[in-house]
Amino acid sequence: MSGAATSGVDVFELGSEHEQVVFCNDSATGLRAIVALHSTALGPGLGGTRFYPYASTDDAIVDVLNLSRGMSYKNALAGLDLGGGKAVIIGDPAVLKTEALLRAYGRFVQSLNGRYYTACDVGTFSVDMDHIARECDYVTGRTVAHGGAGDSSVLTAYGTFQGMRAAAEQVWGEPTLAGRTVGIAGVGKVGRHLVRHLIEDGASVVVTDVHAPSVEAIRAEYPQVTAVATTDELVASEIDVYAPCAMGGAISDEVLDVLRATIICGAANNQLAHPGIEKQVAERGILYAPDYCVNSGGVIQVADELEGFSFERAQQRASGIFETTRQVFELAQADGITSAEAADRLAERRMREVGRLRGIHL
């Protein structure tokens, strides 16, 4: 692991499970990036590149370590022969993002020689992947024009909806959201597609987003959708399902204190604000659909690109999220554990059983 301690974060301590953390610096373009590989036991690490104005390098390190670990579990549970990796580029993409910076970043990813495959995440898009791919062979989530899968948020939303159907079946006996009210926090890339699935299924939808134009676009397309000003207002309202679809840490003590929903099922990564909160969720009688289980449609979509992209095939694989989520709930019930613990057990079992055949990916 290269780069041990920064001002406040000891990378070896915080990333004690990680195989490798790489710091990438190109002063000419302003590129400051961190690539973290959590595990390559199942194959090369696949995970998106997040371009975000972190307040400090420490914050970026914490995020990339958490996100890469999450990708190991997500890819394992999704049945993919891929490990967990993630990258962050520090800075405001609206200010810093240029072709030169993205291509410089591509050179760094290329230097890892296939141990890490990158894709889109917050602040990056398929056109950015095309720039990166001009310097790098290990890029997925490219534009359709370049033979890629395009916008991976399409199947992220589809998979989240399948997980929500499985949760509805567990709680109400029927795999449908018809007649239920779903509150979505964040209607950007993924949330807007999720709205469509829910409306078509007969659900009522309430939305909020810090980006007002995103809410306006949803309301223009679906006038029946209700909008509220803040996430605080959303979680305290009369909703049956809470769907966090923005940044991580959405399920906090403060949210649990006021949340009226019976199900939590959303597309955001790392929703649980701290260890142990999953037990509080269960004690409150709320069913939590583990985030990395239900939001894996996007990684299924971009992984499909590695064998020549077929949307139909990728969608068919993503529809399996319904059955996987059901298995998580069944294991939780059988073993008397939380759904979060059950998802971890299933993922860890696959990493252990298949991973021992493979070792570290070279």
Please identify, in words, the CATH class of the domain defined by 11-71+83-150: alpha beta
Judge whether 186 is annotated as a binding position: yes
What share of the chain has pLDDT > 90, as a percent? 90
Two domains, one topology: 11-71+83-150 and 153-295+326-347: yes
Alpha carbons within 13 A on the beta-carbon side of 294: 34
- Segment 318-346 shows an average pLDDT of 98
Judge whether 294 is annotated as a binding position: no
Domain ranges of the chain: 11-71+83-150, 153-295+326-347
Query: What's the one-letter identity of residue 46?
Result: L
Q: Indicate whether this model's pTM tops 0.95.
A: no
Start-to-end Cα distance in the chain: 15
Q: In this predicted structure, what is the pLDDT of residue 4?
A: 42
Cite the active site residues. Answer: 86
Q: How far is CA 23 from CA 31, 36, 247, 249, 356, in A?
A: 10, 9, 23, 25, 28
Judge whether 359 is annotated as a binding position: no
- Segment 103-130 shows an average pLDDT of 96
**Is pLDDT at 362 greater than 90 in this prediction?**
no
- The 3-class secondary structure across 98-156, one letter per residue, is CHHHHHHHHHHHHHCCCCEEECECCCCCHHHHHHHHCCCCCECCCCHHHCCCCCCHHHH
C-alpha of 162 from chain center:
15
| Beta-carbon count within 10 A of 181 CB | 18
Judge whether 190 is annotated as a binding position: yes
Query: Cβ distance 177 to 203 under 8 Å?
Result: yes
- d(CA 79, CA 148) in angstroms, rounded, equals 21
Q: Regarding the domain delimited by 153-295+326-347, which CATH topology (the fold level of the hierarchy) does it fall under?
A: Rossmann fold (3.40.50)
**pLDDT tens, residue by residue, 56-92:** 999 999 999 999 999 999 999 999 999 999 999 999 9
Judge whether 308 is annotated as a binding position: no
- d(CA 89, CA 109) in angstroms, rounded, equals 12
- d(CA 32, CA 49) in angstroms, rounded, equals 12
Q: In this predicted structure, what is the pLDDT of residue 181?
A: 98
b/e per residue 110-147 (b: at least 16 CB within 10 A): bebeebbbbbbbbbbbbebbbbbbebbebbbbbbeeee
